[in-house]
């Protein structure tokens, strides 16, 4: 099992949440303040930044290998759309390392979403 931080359409109520069926919700989580969240084309993109980062709100899930493969496919890790990387979290999960999908394409002209993507 891998801990996976989800922040967009995979969250409960999100359009892709069904991909987490059979996986275990650990609970709400926040990233360390190293990221920005951008509106893409109906979904968000998480980008690590060196300055001006925010703590992003999401959920932490325990995901098995088959679930992880499905998430990798959805996120386009093989085509270079997103990369799955280890990130740090804030308390109460501080010290826990989680996998998160980081957007790899240009964010030029994209709207900054602040600290949370609203699902629904």
E strand segments, 42-107: 44-48, 57-63, 82-88, 97-103
CA distance 70 to 92: 28
**Catalytic residue selected from 75, 85, 94, 116:** 75
- 96 is a catalytic site residue: no
Hey, which residues does 44 pair with through a beta bridge? 39
Active-site residues: which are they?
A: 75
């Amino acid at each position: 099992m891998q801990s996976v931080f989800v922040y967009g359409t995979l969250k409960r109520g999100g359009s892709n949440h069904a991909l987490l069926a059979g996986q275990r919700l650990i609970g709400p989580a926040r990233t360390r303040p190293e990221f920005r969240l951008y509106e893409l084309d109906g979904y968000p993109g998480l980008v690590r930044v060196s300055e001006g980062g925010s703590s992003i709100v999401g959920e932490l899930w325990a995901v098995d290998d088959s679930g992880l493969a499905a998430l990798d496919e959805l996120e386009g890790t093989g085509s270079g759309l997103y990369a799955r990387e280890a990130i740090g979290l804030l308390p109460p999960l501080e010290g826990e390392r989680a996998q998160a999908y980081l957007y790899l394409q240009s964010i030029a002209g994209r709207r900054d979403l602040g600290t949370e993507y609203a699902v629904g």
